[in-house]
Amino acid sequence: MLSAVHSDRSGRLMLVADYAPAMIDGAGVRPFEGGAPLSRGAEIITLTGREAVGIDRAGRPRPLGPARFAVAAIARLGSLRTALPAYAEDERVPALAARAYAAVAGDANGDLLIAAAPIDPDATANDLRDDPDLPARISVVLGELPGNRLARQLARCARDYRCRAAANAFAGVADCALPVAAPANERPPGPVSIRGDVDAAPTEAAAFHPTADEIAAVAVRHFAAGGTLVSFGRACEGEPLLAARLLEAALEMIRARTATGTLHVETNGSSPAALRRLIAAGLDSVAVRLASARAATYERLHGPQGYRFGDVRTSIDAAVRAKVALALVILVMPGLTDRGQELDAIVDLADQLPPGSQLILRDLACDPKRTIELLRSEEPAIGIANALDRIRTDAPQLRIGALVRPLARV
């Protein structure tokens, strides 16, 4: 038997035995289902000012009381939320911070379940954020790269912001983030964050522009130590294609010093010309980030500045023609991504990608109810689990995961 969960004013979590847990599937409130045990590292959040909603004995959604705040969880990297927390909205309070809130429930043992499905069990295999040796590793690398401002920034990202890909830079494993303080050209609506990422949640952007030589030194050192990929355009960044001249010079320097490793960019695809220049300079891999594959929804959520959705499609075409490794990063939202027209557009776009391309699924960070209100539609949602089934069936040529993996050019 599952129980509703709420938090009191002091932040204590409480299970309510006489109410079943509820969730929002995008279309409305319904009984909680499809839960999984909370994994190590998942975050529990009290939605202060939002009254929790449960299911009463008659099967009806009912608020639990004004001092009983809703509770949500943030799924760990490698899982995808399947439902939103159920709560009573109060327009008088500020919007929730844009996070990937998932519904929770309590089980018979008093443990919490999260409405999330695993999509990439190996995503945290190289997660070194809690490695007790990380401080020593940081000291070693800073000693090897004295005066390198990018290395110092990565040290701060690993220690203060707990960025997984920054920590990797000091262990020589997997992917490494290379922030270059690129400017932004997206202005999403207030309840939405296109850049929010469970993998890294900085509270401020990198404030300096490293030189091409500083970038190359960190990248070459990462590959020499055993790392497999360096990436531009992580959560702390704006749009890396707007720093194309710097990245072009850095890519050429890296390839002049080593032929190993994958040079990768995560982008909104806003400048096909800049992307072509980076590919010519040695870029191996491209991930294009989309909250929707439909033009109208994309432009509503991304708020593109100085480009349109047609430019994004042209960038994808440019990557396909250049035969670089290609990934689509789809930002998933229950009640949005699982609508028929949205799924049709994702599948249609996927059909244009070469076999072996990747489909990276991440949760869209947002205030759930205010985002649903922003994108109101009469079209029913089929549920995230059903949406995943359709994508796997209709786009079998794509590799689904939560992280971009190094791939050879196709």
Average pLDDT over residues 242-255: 98
Average pLDDT over residues 336-355: 95
The answer to whether residues 33 and 179 belong to one domain is no
The answer to whether residues 177 and 29 belong to one domain is no
The answer to whether residues 93 and 156 belong to one domain is no
Is residue 348 in a domain?
Answer: yes
Is residue 126 in a domain?
Answer: no
Q: Count of domains in the chain?
A: 2
The answer to whether residues 283 and 316 belong to one domain is yes
Q: So what's the pLDDT on residue 334?
A: 95
Q: So what's the pLDDT on residue 205?
A: 56
The answer to whether residues 341 and 209 belong to one domain is yes
The answer to whether residues 82 and 184 belong to one domain is no
- pLDDT band at residue 131 using 50, 70 and 90 as cut-offs: confident
Cβ-contact 216, 263 below 8 angstroms: no
Average pLDDT over residues 199-214: 72
Dihedral sign, CA of 35, 38, 42, 44? positive
Is residue 124 in a domain?
Answer: no
* Nearest C-alpha neighbor of 102 from the set 381, 403, 384: 384
- Which structural domain, as residue segments, surrounds residue 42? 4-118
The answer to whether residues 171 and 24 belong to one domain is no
**pLDDT by residue (tens digit) across 373-389?**
999 888 989 999 999 99
**pLDDT by residue (tens digit) across 66-94?**
889 999 999 888 999 999 999 999 888 99
The answer to whether residues 103 and 164 belong to one domain is no
- pLDDT band at residue 408 using 50, 70 and 90 as cut-offs: very low
pLDDT at 285 over 60: yes
The answer to whether residues 147 and 268 belong to one domain is yes
CB-based contacts of 112, cutoff 8 Å, min separation 6: 5, 13, 37, 38, 44, 73, 104, 105, 106
